[in-house]
Amino acid sequence: MFQRLKRSEARTVSLSVDGRPVTAFSGDSVAAALLAAGILACRTTPVSGAPRAPYCMMGVCFECLVTIDGVGSRQACLARVRDGMRIETQQGRREAGR
Amino acid sequence: MTAASPIKEHYDLAVVGAGPAGLAAATLAARLGLDTVLFDEQTAPGGQIYRSVTETPAGEPTLLGADYWHGAGLVGPFMESGAQYVPGATIWSISREREIGVSVGGCSRLLTARHIVLATGALERPFPIPGWTLPGVMTCGAAQILLKSSGLVASGKIVLAGTGPLLWLLAAQYLRAGVTIEALLDTTPAGNWAAALPYLPGFLVSSYAAKGLRLVREVKHRVKIVRGVTALAAKGGDRVEEVVYRRGEAGEVRLPVETLLLHQGVAPNVNLANSIGCTHRWDEAQLCFTPVVDEWGMSTVPGIAIAGDGAGIAGAMAAEHRGRLAALDAAHRLGKIDARRRDRDAAPHAAALARAERGRRFLDLLYRPAEAFRVPAGETLVCRCEEVTARQVLEAVALGCQGPNQLKSFLRCGMGPCQGRLCGLTVTELIARARGVPPSEIGYYRLRPPVKPITLAELAALPQTEAAAKAVLRG
């Protein structure tokens, strides 16, 4: 799990993750927001269905793929949170048209 | 700096990456009158070393340390330099003719540049141990990025494992932030000291020596340090629950853990340079492929220079000097300054570079990761994306697979979204050991654009010439 160091004047942002409301701070990446909210695994793999979580946080490992506002396989560590953002974790293989 | 300006179709100079090398190169090039653009994948400048330096919530100056805040002194001048800054930009293709494919906000476009400086930096070396894909296992670099960019620290039971300066730096930063670390499992092979010792004098006069000793001292009295760890595994179901380690012939030790942070050095991020066709060679000291560059950073492909750790690991201070040398050479090649001015202006940067590179050889040898942690065995995953194990790779070699590119056809190894970034070095060394030939002979994956995945819709929406459309459309 991850926790925040004290932080005073940051603006909060409201997201939904798999339909549940989550509060993040502006400036967070989506991956950081998920970890701060206690959501560790963000997808399961297409090959074996194993759970995966952010690993590198710098855009090279592609473990943190999630669906953001309907667009699948976005790198959560490279996307910044925005108010009203809809995030879905990904289960196994992607399907065409989703 | 003009953040909101539209991207033009042509520039004198395109710089890729906003770490120390890219920032320094773009700043100086723009000052020398080159029409310069800097593309960066992140949303704020600084690269990974100075990540979020303009906006970090971990603003307490002593927490991240003076070396981190040095980055602010690169960002300020860059913003004033007149270079165009395009954040959130993923470069997915660069041709030998210097046509650049870039994706910004889900929309792609093509542009050209007369000269390109790649400053794509480093990535953490793969650390293929059993269980390294379990949620709760991440790299020390990732933990540091969470700290810099969001002020997030791991909580619960935390173990750090591996070798290299970043391991100690993160431990110190976590301690300063009030985080308790259960143990630091040091995998540095005992024999490394003897190999590094002849280079100790150079290290002692470098800027690394005092800092390094201070870090180790800061950490070792407050964290249980386990030296000489020779085997390491993460165990758990849906997430890591314990770390299991061994020291030589001694029995297994199990530690309950919620977060396991791994690190065993960094290697150049070569994907773009490799895809352009720049020649790389195996560096036996740094155990990675490094692009072949001259003193100015020029690669073997005309018009493509490489600066910073992407051209071989030398650290952040060296990176900024290499960025300036690349910028001076670009200005010379594009006719802005003559060779005499280039050489005269380069002298202080070359001298500073030589100073910054002091001690590097000692660090390379001291923190050279053990073979056991580079060349995995059995059911340990090599390719995280396609879930290919070490045993499968060895079976493919036994069937006659000669190298990494053939391995793709055998196992799809390296063909997932990360495109070999997390398995390339492992695969090269694994095949080399199995075949009994040096890694230089095995080579690396041949990478092709798009070097980062983009959607077909984004590709299809690219502007097309009439001739190109006619070539594929009938009637």
For residue range B330-346, what is the model confidence (pLDDT) as tens digits?
Answer: 999 999 999 999 999 99
Q: Residues B164-182: pLDDT tens digits?
A: 999 999 999 999 999 999 9
Question: If you search the block for the tokens 């400048």, which residue do you land on?
Answer: B45
pLDDT at site B2? 45
DSSP B121: -
What whole-number distance in Å separates Cα of residue B223 and Cα of residue B225? 6
Out of A58, A78, A80, the one facing B141 most closely (by C-beta) is A58
List CB contacts (< 8 A) between A78 and chain B. 41-43, 88, 90
Of the listed ranges A40-44, A93-97, B391-395, the one predicted with least confidence: A93-97
* Residue A7: predicted pLDDT: 66
- Residue B442's nearest CA partner among B301, B282, B302 is B282
User: Are residues A54 and B41, on separate chains, in Cβ contact within 8 Å?
Assistant: no
Exposed, middle or buried: residue B167 (CB in 10 Å: 0-12, 13-18, 19+)? buried
- Give which of A56, A77, A80, A85 to mutate to test B binding, by max B Cβ within 10 Å: A56
Q: Residue B199 pLDDT more than 90?
A: yes
* Residues of B whose CB is below 8 A from A7: 57, 151
What is residue B362's three-state secondary structure? helix
Give the model's pLDDT for residue B299: 98
Interface of B with A in 47-76 (CB under 8 A): 48, 52, 55, 57-58
List Cβ neighbours of B65 (8 Å cut-off, separation of 6 or more): B169, B172, B173
Smallest CA-to-CA distance from A74 within A12, A30, A44 is with: A30
Mean pLDDT of B421-438: 98
For residue A52, what are the CA distances in angstroms to A41, B50, B103, B134?
5, 27, 26, 6
- The confidence score (pLDDT) of residue B4 equals 60
Distance, CA of B90 to CA of B109 (rounded, Å): 11
What is the reported pLDDT for B207?
Answer: 86
pLDDT band of residue A92 (cuts 50, 70, 90) is: confident
Of B152, B387, B418, nearest to A60 by CB-CB distance is: B418
- pLDDT one-digit tens code per residue, B70-84: 999 999 999 999 999
According to the model, what pLDDT value does residue B5 have?
81
**Which of A32, A50, A61 faces B146 most closely, judged by CB atoms?**
A32
CA distance linking residue B89 with residue B108, whole number of Å: 9
Q: What is the pLDDT of residues B93-117, one digit of tens each?
A: 999 999 999 999 999 999 999 999 9
What is the layout of strands, in order, in the sheet containing B240-246? B231-236, B240-246, B253-256
Residue B1 has pLDDT above 60, yes or no: no
How many beta carbons lie within 10 A of that of residue A11, not counting itself? Answer: 9
Chain centroid to Cα B400, Å, comes to 32
Q: Where are the beta strands (DSSP E) in B314-437?
A: 381-383, 388-389
Whether the per-residue pLDDT at B89 is higher than 50: the answer is yes
Per-residue pLDDT for B475 more than 70?
no
Across B215-349, the runs of DSSP E, i.e. the strands, are 225-226, 231-236, 240-246, 253-256, 259-264, 266-268, 280-283, 288-291, 304-306
Contacts of B379 in chain A (CB under 8 A): none
- pLDDT tens per residue across span A24-68: 999 999 999 999 999 999 999 999 999 999 999 999 999 999 999
Chain A: closest CA distance from residue B161 (Å): 15
Q: Which among B123, B97, B126 has a CA at the least distance from the CA of B14?
A: B97
Distance CA B50, CA A86 (A): 30
CB contact under 8 A, B135 and A80: no
pLDDT tens-digit map of B134-147:
999 999 999 999 99
Judging by DSSP bridges, how do beta strands A12-17 and A20-25 pair with one another? antiparallel
Residue in this structure with the two tokens 């004290």, named with its chain if needed: A6
The ipTM value here is 0.96
Q: Does A53 contact B52 at a Cβ distance shorter than 8 Å?
A: no
pLDDT band at B468 (very low <50, low <70, confident <90, very high): confident
Distance CA A29, CA B208 (A): 32
| E strands in B61-134 | 84-86, 89-94, 99-104, 107-118, 122-124
Summarised one tens digit per residue, pLDDT across range B23-40 is 999 999 999 999 999 999
